[in-house]
Chains A and B, each alone.
Chain A
Amino acid sequence: MAAIITLDDVSVTFHEAGHTIEAVKHASLEVEQGEIFGIVGFSGAGKSTLVRMINLLERPTSGRVLIDGRDITGLRGGPLRDLRKSIGFVFQGFNLIGNATVGKNIEFALRAGGVPKARRRGRTQELLELVGLSGKMDSYPSSLSGGQKQRVSIARALANNPRILLCDEATSALDLETTEGILALLKRINTELGVTIVFITHQLEVAQRIFDRVAVMENGVIIEQGKTFDVFAEPHHETTQALVERFLGVAVPERLVPELPVGRLVELRYKGDHAFDPLISAVSSRHGVAINVLHGNVEYFGTQPIGTLVVLVAAIREGQRGAQDVEDALDELRGTVFGFKELTDAAVEQALDSPYGGGPRTAAQTKKTVQQEVLV
């Protein structure tokens, strides 16, 4: 498949009040026609700056931006405006003209696209139907909910039939349910209209749901990119691991820690549809150890699941022989799953003190895992 967007070794440096900020450093990526490409990373990583280069809202200090293989880095004036008509942009803050009606907001883009006045209202109606807001043509943005405002801004971005849609944290200001609706709409726009989407988010739930491929950014550098499932299943870079851990990680609820029986605590991660119970019971009977499943959690990326289990492996026999049993059982587990991490007491503490959440996980944060908790 051909790349519709290519960022070739781009860097952006800002000069501000005497010091320079390297917002993007030598980043390269290719977005393929028709895919949903995601960019994730912590705040300040340079995600927005990177994406704003695609329609030259930000100009690279060095490097090239190519659309359909054509170098657009130097475009100005009319040709730049023409390019922008073919690239829709959806912002976190909606950025609608508050003192203009929904209809006028969309007509603004249509006028920019050279649609004759007589046809604008009809096309606006069409766009509003597409985003599910048919009755809102003459409403003002202030009378709409956040989700509805975002739908208007999506309609505006699609006004001139763009081939690319850039979304900068388009769902970050919305609650979970509204986010679902917007994501479903974007997915539909992607499959039905064939629009290529580049989507920035720090919410991995969003990444998991709609991204085909993903790039992870940190300090202006793309540290990892690939198929979403692969990146999430086997993160290579520390920061990606931290991001994924925060999302998939199973925390042992604090209240359980003091009650844990003696044994070795391990976190197993597996991908694909392995039925895990047989393995657990096989290992347990083969080596004569007790394996308690403390937590289980499965997340789907598209159709592919990533499972996480926290198990406590305890000896049944006494003394040295029991300890050897446990070692053997752990060895077999280690050889079978693709993610194996022994949680020492310290690691348990750490899992509880989420480094990015600030302080220990709250009950709400662990709710997801607690619900699926299978205490044996």
Chain B
Amino acid sequence: MSDTAEILREHLGKALWDTCTMVGIATVVGVVFGTALAVVLYLTQARLFTPNRLVNTVVGFVVNAIRSLPFLILLVVLIPLIQLCIGDPYTPAGGAIALSIAAIPFFARIAESAFADVDPGLLEAAVSTGAPLRQIIAGAVFPQALPSFIRGIVLTVISLLGYSAMVGTIGAGGIGDLAIQYGYNRYETGVLIAIVVLLVLLVQLIQWAGDRLALRFTH
């Protein structure tokens, strides 16, 4: 049992940190680029803005194509690409890139549906004031979509946390890596249990914080 404590003391901090940076980077990248794609998808299909079947179909297809790959397969496909970019793909940086690429289309669809749920009547009212597109998106669509948006971020973080464990299995570090190396390969059940408890608590915490935040922006 002292072994378990030893392993945890030595590796858990680093593993947690790696997981958090990977998930953190991927979330930021996913939200930024995903939102941008969502805005394109939204604007090109809304009757009131700039409907464009071609752009909408192409972007939609790319987003769906990436989303249709199970993460593990996407990861395998991406390894040579990441190798090309940063050399060693089996690092937290490599993991972050893979996670980011998965996060972008994932969040794009979430953000798009958050935008699409905004009452079209409200858009008409906003358009009728003569406001420019940027103001309509930032001042009317976004505040209305914000609660769904926040819930979408929570969903993304939690999914990425799951994916990050898979990144760990190929040796890119993080909690998943720890679980495989010690919990699985060395039969350290204690480590495994500690990681399970930690993940459960972490997910609960994220969900709770996200729900509170979403509620704060709902009026």
Q: Which residues of A contact B (CB under 8 A)?
A: 55, 57, 81-85, 87-89, 91, 93, 95-100, 108-109, 111-113, 140-142, 153, 156-157, 159-160
Whether A87 pairs with B139 at a CB distance below 8 angstroms is no
Instruction: Determine if B124 is an interface residue (Cβ-Cβ < 8 Å).
Output: yes
Q: Cα distance A127–B77 when bound, in Å? A: 60
Q: Which 3 A-B pairs have the closest CB atoms?
A: A112-B131, A84-B130, A95-B125
Least distance between A304 CB and chain B CB atoms (Å): 35
Q: If the complex has contacts A99-B217, A140-B219, are A89 and B125 also in contact, measured as CB distance less than 8 A?
A: yes
Residue of A nearest to B128 (CB): A89
Q: If the complex has contacts A82-B130, A98-B219, are A111 and B139 also in contact, measured as CB distance less than 8 A?
A: yes
Residues of A close to B121: CB separation below 8 A:
91, 93, 95
Which residues in window 195-219 of B have CB below 8 A to A? 217-219
Least distance between A243 CB and chain B CB atoms (Å): 27
Whether B130 pairs with A97 at a CB distance below 8 angstroms is no
Residues of A close to B122: CB separation below 8 A:
95-97
Q: Would you mind naming 13 contact pairs between A and B with Cβ atoms under 8 Å apart?
A: A83-B130, A91-B121, A91-B124, A95-B121, A97-B140, A108-B131, A108-B140, A109-B131, A111-B131, A140-B219, A141-B219, A156-B129, A157-B128
Whether A112 pairs with B130 at a CB distance below 8 angstroms is yes
Least distance between A297 CB and chain B CB atoms (Å): 38
Q: Cα distance A83–B218 when bound, in Å? A: 33
Q: Cα distance A153–B125 when bound, in Å? A: 9
Q: Cα distance A254–B169 when bound, in Å? A: 83
Residue of A nearest to B141 (CB): A97
- A89-B124, A108-B126, A141-B219 given; 6 more Cβ-contact pairs under 8 Å: A93-B121, A97-B126, A98-B144, A108-B129, A111-B139, A113-B129
Contact partner, B129, options A91, A100, A109, A142, Cβ 8 Å: A109
Instruction: Determine if B194 is an interface residue (Cβ-Cβ < 8 Å).
Output: no
Residues of A close to B146: CB separation below 8 A:
99
Contact partner, A99, options B129, B130, B135, B218, Cβ 8 Å: B218
Whether B125 pairs with A84 at a CB distance below 8 angstroms is no
Q: If the complex has contacts A95-B119, A96-B122, are A81 and B139 also in contact, measured as CB distance less than 8 A?
A: no
Q: Cα distance A83–B129 when bound, in Å? A: 9
- Kindly state the interface size class of chain B when it binds its partner: 20 to 34
Q: Report which residue of B122, B129, B131, B139 has the largest number of chain A beta carbons within 10 angstroms of its beta carbon.
A: B129
Q: Report which residue of A87, A95, A153 has the largest number of chain B beta carbons within 10 angstroms of its beta carbon.
A: A95
Q: Cα distance A85–B125 when bound, in Å? A: 12
Contact partner, A57, options B128, B140, B218, Cβ 8 Å: B128
Least distance between A115 CB and chain B CB atoms (Å): 12
Q: Cα distance A113–B119 when bound, in Å? A: 23
Q: Cα distance A227–B122 when bound, in Å? A: 34
Residue of B nearest to A107 (CB): B139
Instruction: Determine if B20 is an interface residue (Cβ-Cβ < 8 Å).
Output: no
Whether B219 pairs with A87 at a CB distance below 8 angstroms is no
Mark each residue of chain B from 112 to 130: 1 if its CB lies under 8 Å from any CB of chain A, else 0: 0000000101101111111
Residues of B close to A87: CB separation below 8 A:
128
Residues of B close to A141: CB separation below 8 A:
219
Residue of A nearest to B124 (CB): A57
Q: Cα distance A95–B125 when bound, in Å? A: 6
Residues of B close to A153: CB separation below 8 A:
125
Least distance between A79 CB and chain B CB atoms (Å): 10
Least distance between A328 CB and chain B CB atoms (Å): 60
Q: Cα distance A33–B131 when bound, in Å? A: 25
Least distance between A363 CB and chain B CB atoms (Å): 36
